[in-house]
Amino acid sequence: MGYHEQKQRLLDSRYIRMARIWAENSYCVRRQVGALIVRDKMIISDGYNGTPQGFENVCEDEATGLTKPYVLHAEANAITKVAKSNNSSLGATLYVTASPCIECAKLIIQAGIRRVVFCDDYHSRDGVELLERAGIEVVQVAENGDCPVGDISGTK
């Protein structure tokens, strides 16, 4: 492994750890997910799963324990946040603690994000498969964030 690959792995592990810490802002009981959008080694946006602005910060239905349908995923929060700013996500990397669902994958593609690094698997691989189909580099890192599990997409 060359110098640049080692340096990228180190950055990936650090940003994933930061996304994990950011996930702690979520009020969701079932799963806390954090996301960072990084461009040119600078964090340009962040997000975590939760309710829309102005809503009570309760993610799960009290009767069923299921996630309410209007809860935003961390990726969607980060993408909408950068869209409201003067920054551009074009060519950026998204660091997210769980692999994107299909809906978030569509947003990632449309936002021009070129690389996605995640740690935990979502219950479906549909989002990852869509990202790969779009030519987006997808990398999974180990649980501790210390080293990549592998480049899933095989794209560089």
Active site residues: 75
Q: Is residue 28 part of an annotated ligand binding site?
A: no
How far apart CA 6 and CA 148 sit, in angstroms, is 10
| Phi, psi (rounded to 5 degrees) for 38 | -120, 130
Q: Is residue 4 part of an annotated ligand binding site?
A: no
How far apart CA 98 and CA 85 sit, in angstroms, is 25
How far apart CA 2 and CA 15 sit, in angstroms, is 20
Q: Is residue 147 part of an annotated ligand binding site?
A: no
Strand ranges, E, within 31-73: 34-39, 42-48
How far apart CA 31 and CA 90 sit, in angstroms, is 28
Neighbours of 105 (CB within 10 A): 25
Q: Which residues are annotated as a binding site for Zn(2+)?
A: 73, 101, 104
Q: Which residues are annotated as a binding site?
A: 73, 101, 104
